[in-house]
């Protein structure tokens, strides 16, 4: 039997912010409804209200015609509503099978855990997904993509009537995305109501039936997928035509001396990696999940040990024992997982921007707050960061604005950043903000910064980077210029054994 979900006049207000305003639409069972909108449009807030994580200020939600209101996410799950957020709700120290069945572990007579049945039940679900994951493996040892699949398997196991996916494919490979889409097809056939949030428009046209577009907390329009186009969706989301994103970029074409020269770099995860980046140049690092791109970034930033080879910065051989040493020499990293590794989520914008230079803002142990405020204010204005206050808690910002906070931290006037490493900087960011970020990266290159740009989206690497280094299985398999690069050529190098 199919389910139906209806939002009627949903509103949500915070002090000084109207996050949602009179949102009304209906999602039918057996269909996928995509929620689209720029970062900050209200998509995640709406899902949090659905899950019981937050309460709406106005309006009501109906499930199969009956009004529902959940005190907390556990109550929502019990009623058959599951929301899979961008932030994984897993316990890293526990096993895969324990994370899949956190609230339903089988017990033997006497109350002892039945580990054999737990293993077999988890294995049956893993087999449906067709993934090489051991149920007894500790979740913290899995890569980010497999952790996301465990999160999805946990929701699948609950057999919920309503399942909402918030950017589920961000860390996944194409193969894993295909697996997820097949699972969604199965859920549709069972009459489930599916809400799907993604900034990848190609996914929407592959998997969705209906589309609701939000902007600034309001419902802009509704489409059937068969009756719209990518151009029309972008116009509805952004409020303007953004044209050919890459063709309109103002680029730097005057490179200076070599800033970074990596020679036969070895770490516990990569081997014999060599490439150069000149002043004002954007070098893309491409490859499939597990190729070693993030590991190279961490080694350059002093976060992982280097076991061989040489890193030459501005003509001098360096060996960073910690990120602190790298920062002092002008190396900055925007990490792949900005929420876990890049930001202190429950501190303010001001605090996050000032972290690398906080000592420079102190005098005799006292913080010069006016200088701190001025520093953060310049970052907010430079990157057009949308916030009602510099004291806004970073956790409450959209993904795009969180990324801008990190950029503001590393490119402020009190730091002499020579090398900026961007690891998946557009993950979870809407198309309008992506276009803005691409131009920001080009502007930083024009300012003379050497940029290492890492992304799993081949289209943006090929179109943004001046030169592209391709990795597979921990080593470099080739390099091409932007003029020479095609998706086929880069993919062939990324799969080269």
The arithmetic mean of pLDDT across residues 149-158, rounded, is 88
How would residue 379 be classed by pLDDT, with cut points 50, 70 and 90?
Answer: confident
Which pLDDT score is estimated for 308? 95
The continuous run of DSSP H or E covering 189 comes out as helix 174-189
Per-residue pLDDT reduced to its tens digit, 341-364: 888 888 999 888 888 887 787 777
- Residues 321, 325, 330, 332, CA torsion sign: positive
Which pLDDT score is estimated for 309? 96
pLDDT at 120 over 80: yes
Which pLDDT score is estimated for 288? 77
Residue 274, number of CB atoms within 10 A of its CB: 15
Residues 6+ apart with CB under 8 A from 111: none
pLDDT at 73 over 80: yes
Is there a contact between 451 and 420 (Cβ–Cβ < 8 Å)? yes
Is there a contact between 312 and 318 (Cβ–Cβ < 8 Å)? yes
* DSSP letter assigned to residue 113: B
Token pair of 369 as six digits: 């707050």
pLDDT at 1 over 70: no
pLDDT at 31 over 60: yes
The arithmetic mean of pLDDT across residues 307-334, rounded, is 94
The rounded distance, in Å, linking the Cα atoms of 322 and 298 is 10
List the single range of 162-171, 235-244, 306-315, 391-400 with lowest mean pLDDT. Answer: 235-244
List the single range of 145-159, 247-261, 323-337 with lowest mean pLDDT. Answer: 145-159
The rounded distance, in Å, linking the Cα atoms of 277 and 260 is 5
The arithmetic mean of pLDDT across residues 366-370, rounded, is 82
Which pLDDT score is estimated for 431? 74
3-state secondary structure at position 73: helix
Per-residue pLDDT reduced to its tens digit, 382-433: 888 888 888 899 988 877 888 889 988 888 877 889 999 999 888 877 777 8
The arithmetic mean of pLDDT across residues 201-212, rounded, is 91
The rounded distance, in Å, linking the Cα atoms of 53 and 76 is 9
Which pLDDT score is estimated for 313? 96
Domains, the chain, ranges and CATH?
Answer: 4-238 (3.40.50.300), 258-494 (3.40.50.300)
Measured CA angle at 327 (ends 321, 333), to 5 deg: 95
The arithmetic mean of pLDDT across residues 204-218, rounded, is 91
- Three-class SS of 268-296: CCCCCEEEEEECCCEEEEECCCCCCHHHH
* DSSP letter assigned to residue 90: -
List the single range of 77-86, 137-146, 488-497 with lowest mean pLDDT. Answer: 488-497
Token pair of 269 as six digits: 């995860």
Lay out the sheet containing 66-68: strands in order across.
17-28, 4-14, 58-63, 66-68
List the single range of 111-115, 171-175, 302-306, 422-426 with lowest mean pLDDT. Answer: 171-175
Which pLDDT score is estimated for 162? 93
Is residue 241 classed exposed, middle or buried when 0-12, 13-18 and 19+ CB atoms within 10 A define those classes?
Answer: exposed
The rounded distance, in Å, linking the Cα atoms of 311 and 276 is 10
The rounded distance, in Å, linking the Cα atoms of 139 and 15 is 38
How would residue 497 be classed by pLDDT, with cut points 50, 70 and 90?
Answer: low
The arithmetic mean of pLDDT across residues 265-289, rounded, is 93
pLDDT at 167 over 90: no
Higher per-residue confidence, 496 vs 485: 485
The rounded distance, in Å, linking the Cα atoms of 265 and 309 is 4
296-299 — which CB contacts under 8 Å span 24+ positions? 296/262, 296/265, 296/267, 296/270, 296/471, 297/333, 297/335, 297/336, 297/421, 297/423, 297/452, 297/454, 298/333, 299/265, 299/267, 299/270
Query: What are the CA-CA distances from residue 27 to residues 8, 24, 208 (Å)?
Result: 12, 10, 12
Is there a contact between 8 and 172 (Cβ–Cβ < 8 Å)? no
Higher per-residue confidence, 49 vs 428: 49
Query: What are the CA-CA distances from residue 257 to residues 141, 155, 168, 254, 277 (Å)?
Result: 40, 52, 41, 10, 9
Which pLDDT score is estimated for 240? 60
């Amino acid at each position: 039997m199919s389910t139906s979900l209806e939002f009627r006049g949903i509103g949500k207000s915070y002090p000084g912010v109207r996050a949602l305003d009179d949102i009304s639409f209906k999602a039918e069972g057996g269909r996928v409804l995509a929620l689209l909108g720029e970062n900050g449009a209200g998509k995640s807030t709406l899902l949090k209200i659905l899950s019981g994580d937050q309460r709406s200020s106005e309006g009501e939600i109906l499930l199969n015609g009956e009004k529902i209101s959940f005190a907390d996410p556990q109550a929502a799950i019990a009623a058959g509503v599951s929301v899979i957020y961008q932030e994984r709700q897993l316990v890293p120290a526990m096993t895969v099978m324990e994370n899949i069945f956190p609230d339903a572990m089988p017990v033997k007579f006497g109350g002892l855990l039945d580990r054999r049945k737990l293993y077999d039940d988890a294995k049956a679900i893993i087999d449906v997904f067709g993934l090489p994951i051991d149920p007894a493996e500790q979740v913290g040892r899995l890569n980010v993509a497999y952790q996301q699949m465990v999160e999805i398997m946990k929701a699948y196991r609950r057999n919920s009537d309503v399942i909402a996916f918030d950017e589920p494919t961000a860390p996944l490979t194409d193969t894993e995305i295909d697996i997820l889409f097949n699972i969604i097809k199965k859920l549709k056939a069972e009459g489930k109501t599916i809400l799907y949030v993604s900034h990848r428009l190609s996914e929407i046209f592959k998997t969705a039936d209906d589309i609701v577009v939000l902007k600034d907390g309001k419902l802009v329009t509704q489409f059937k997928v068969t009756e719209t186009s990518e151009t029309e969706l972008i116009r509805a989301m952004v409020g303007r035509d953004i044209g050919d994103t890459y063709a309109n970029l103002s680029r730097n074409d005057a490179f200076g001396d070599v800033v970074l020269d990596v020679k036969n770099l070895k770490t516990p995860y990569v081997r014999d990696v060599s490439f150069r980046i000149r002043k004002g140049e954007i070098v893309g690092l491409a490859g499939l999940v597990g190729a070693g791109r993030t590991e190279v970034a961490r080694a350059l930033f002093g976060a992982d040990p280097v076991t061989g080879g040489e890193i030459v910065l501005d003509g001098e051989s360096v060996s960073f024992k910690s990120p602190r040493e790298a920062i002092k020499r002008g190396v900055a990293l925007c990490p792949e997982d900005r929420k876990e590794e890049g930001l202190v989520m429950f501190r303010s914008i001001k605090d996050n921007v000032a972290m690398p230079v906080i000592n420079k803002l102190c005098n005799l142990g006292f913080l010069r707050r006016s200088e701190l405020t001025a520093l953060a204010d310049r970052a907010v204005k430079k990157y057009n960061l949308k916030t009602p206050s510099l004291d806004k808690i970073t956790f409450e910002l959209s993904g795009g604005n969180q990324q801008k906070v990190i950029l503001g931290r590393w490119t402020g006037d009190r730091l002499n950043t020579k090398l900026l490493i961007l690891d998946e900087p557009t993950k979870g960011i809407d198309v309008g903000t992506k276009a803005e970020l691409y131009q920001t990266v080009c502007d930083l290159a024009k300012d003379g910064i050497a940029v290492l740009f890492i992304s799993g989206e081949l289209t943006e690497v090929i179109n943004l980077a001046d030169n592209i280094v391709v990795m597979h299985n921990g080593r470099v398999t080739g390099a091409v210029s932007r003029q020479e690069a095609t998706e086929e050529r880069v993919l062939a190098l990324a799969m080269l054994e």
